[in-house]
Amino acid sequence: MSVACPVDLDTGKLRREISKIYGKVAVEPAAQFHFHRGPAYATEFLGYDADELASLPAECTGSFAGIGNPLAIAAVQGGETVVDIGCGAGMDLLLAGKRVGQKGQAIGIDMTEAMVERARNSVAASGMTHIEIRKGDATALPVAGGSVDVVISNGVLNLVPEKELGFAEIVRILRPGGRLQLADIALDRELSEDVRQNIDLWTG
């Protein structure tokens, strides 16, 4: 089974459209979107702990737009280094930061400026100085090779057209024995060429 159908589309335009949508989720999470958002959705449908979410800055939980719960896949240990690819407003990242503690490190990466800003505000409000946000793309992660214990990602790789490159980057940054805790969308059949080229279907 391949990780991706080949795509022949304007990937720059696709990224601009994706950033436009998630930029709006960052600043106006209560607006109309085709996907769920927020802490009530996260607790009711995805099994997040309501009390734990209530302890986080509201601006990171309000703009949560994940599709699963990557931290529920396995326990993250104190002292580990975690990278969250496509961290959005930072809800999973802050939860990871709590788990790894001051002796660990949590790095969030996102390509959308407004999400980066919101995540940085959330980190500052949390007071956790071992969490850092870096602006960057899933296909060229601004992270040193072999330096990460756990990669998490929630609802992001489905939006990346160059999926092999995205997975190659994950393999590059993980230490030997490191792990990927991925929540994402998988298809069990190939999509037709016209569907793959339709940017509206990627983003809406």
Ligand X SMILES: C[S@@+](CC[C@H](N)C(=O)[O-])C[C@H]1O[C@@H](n2cnc3c(N)ncnc32)[C@H](O)[C@@H]1O
State the residues that interact with ligand X by CB under 6 A.
Answer: 18-19, 22, 64-66, 86-88, 91-92, 110-112, 115, 137-138, 154-156, 159-160
Whole-angstrom distance, CA of residue 171 vs CA of residue 85: 13
Half-sphere exposure of 22 (CA within 13 A, CB side): 29
| Burial (CB count <10 Å: 0-12, 13-18, 19+), residue 180 | middle
CB of 188 to ligand X, least distance (A): 21
For ligand X, give the closer residue by CB, 128 or 156: 156
CB of 55 to ligand X, least distance (A): 17
Describe the strand order of the beta sheet including 148-154 as a list of residue ranges.
Answer: 131-135, 105-110, 81-85, 148-154, 174-183
CB of 190 to ligand X, least distance (A): 21
Residue with tokens 């793309």: 137
Q: Which of 67, 86, 71 is nearest to 170 (CA)?
A: 86
For ligand X, give the closer residue by CB, 96 or 100: 96
For ligand X, give the closer residue by CB, 57 or 86: 86
For ligand X, give the closer residue by CB, 64 or 167: 64
CB of 165 to ligand X, least distance (A): 10
